[in-house]
């Protein structure tokens, strides 16, 4: 047992703790020595166990506020306290937001936003009376942080849960910490409902930098940490658990980016004329992003301010023509930095405004 996540003599309630992510969370707390209570609308086919310990099951529909109050009161009556609430129950089937019924949307919001709020409210009432307070962990989702097509109400509800975590952390401090853990796609026994067959799961996994979907144990380990003494200063926070996130779609679509498609054709450049003079003009007009970054580094803060303001000149800088005269006693070559002198003529930028400002302070 890891002493940093020792939950001996602690009482933990995990909603939706009979299957999937919730079951993994309950098993992790059991393995850490906690007394665990799980709830669901129906009893699990097999009990939730780990390391010889067994979770207590209570039937409860968390969408009903009255049932939630009875659930929490029953836990305290039987175990004397409640130290950790993991509000995990939730979910939603795919549906078209344009055509689905208002009743459907209301049900999704009740399960994924109002139920966590009612649970947290009941748990807080108990924890505030305890000397050591307690911890409330909301299981959020990356769907609350990005577009959630096909599950619009679910994404909106999860965004609301993240807002709850920040607000309740302020209202209920210092006795009660409130945190959220937001996983990305998780591989559970119901993954096929979202991702299809094994090929579909593999395809989704291929979009994640970590190269795989999360597993219930990954989410469980995060919950152990945020509920532990090691995270005593963590409140109002959202722990993202997404394996590096999702590769931006524009990178896959863009054919000019080196991070884009591997089969993308090389980006076309301005058509080059045959005669050398026209070709030279073309080269001078090109100002690649890589060269701009180089200019930023070489020229220092003044250029950084100029570039960030979007003041890249539309003409080539000619020091003999355009550079301001240095004050008396200052060498002429100081009119512009050596780093700029080493750059190809077509990649230099206008320095007039920069030097006027600099010389004014000499």
Active site residues: 154
Distance CA 54, CA 32 (A): 12
CB distance 173 to 128 below 8 Å: no
**Nearest CA-CA partner of 182 in 239, 108, 243, 136:** 239
Read off the tokens for 352.
């007039």
CB distance 2 to 225 below 8 Å: no
Distance CA 132, CA 216 (A): 28
- Beta pairing partners, 137: 86, 179
Read off the tokens for 5.
């996540």
In DSSP notation, 199-267 reads HHHHHHHTTSTTSS-B-HHHHHHHHHHHHSGGGTT--S-EEEESTT----HHHHH-SSSTTS-TTPPPP
Please state whether beta strands 176-183 and 56-59 pair in parallel, antiparallel, or not at all (unpaired).
unpaired
- Give the angle subtended at the CA of 216 by the CAs of 210 and 217, to the nearest 5°: 80
Distance CA 243, CA 38 (A): 27
Read off the tokens for 307.
């570039």
């Amino acid at each position: 047992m890891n002493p940093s996540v020792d939950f001996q003599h602690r009482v933990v309630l995990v909603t939706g703790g009979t299957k999937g992510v919730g079951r993994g969370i309950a098993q992790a707390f059991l393995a850490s020595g906690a007394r665990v209570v799980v709830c669901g609308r129906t009893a699990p086919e097999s009990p939730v166990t780990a390391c010889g310990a067994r979770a207590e099951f209570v039937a409860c529909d968390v969408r009903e506020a009255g049932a939630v109050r009875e659930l929490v009161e029953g836990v305290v009556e039987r175990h004397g306290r409640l130290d950790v609430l993991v509000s995990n129950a939730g979910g939603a089937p795919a549906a078209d937001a344009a055509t689905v019924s208002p009743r459907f949307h209301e049900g999704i919001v009740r399960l994924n936003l109002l139920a966590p709020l009612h649970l947290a409210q009941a748990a807080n009432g108990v924890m505030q009376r305890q000397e050591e307070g307690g911890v409330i962990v909301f299981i959020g989702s990356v769907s609350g942080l990005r577009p959630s097509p096909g599950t619009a109400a679910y994404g909106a509800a999860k965004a609301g849960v993240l807002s709850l975590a920040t607000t309740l952390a302020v209202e209920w401090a210092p006795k009660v910490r409130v945190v959220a853990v937001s996983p990305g796609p998780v591989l559970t026994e119901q993954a096929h409902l979202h991702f299809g067959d094994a090929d579909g799961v593999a395809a989704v996994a291929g979009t994640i930098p970590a190269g795989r979907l999360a597993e219930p144990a990954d989410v469980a380990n995060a919950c152990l940490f945020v509920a532990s003494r090691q995270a005593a200063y963590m409140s109002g926070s959202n722990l993202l658990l997404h394996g590096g996130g999702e590769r931006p779609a524009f990178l896959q679509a863009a054919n000019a980016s080196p991070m884009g498609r591997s089969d993308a054709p090389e980006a076309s450049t301005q058509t080059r004329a045959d005669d050398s003079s026209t070709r030279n003009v073309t080269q001078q007009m090109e100002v690649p992003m890589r060269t701009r970054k180089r200019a930023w580094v070489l020229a220092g803060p003044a250029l950084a301010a100029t570039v960030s303001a979007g003041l890249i000149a539309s003409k080539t800088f000619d020091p003999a023509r355009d550079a301001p005269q240095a004050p008396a006693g200052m060498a002429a070559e100081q009119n512009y930095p050596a780093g700029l002198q080493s750059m190809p003529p077509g990649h230099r930028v206008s320095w007039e405004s920069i030097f006027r400002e600099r010389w004014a302070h000499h």
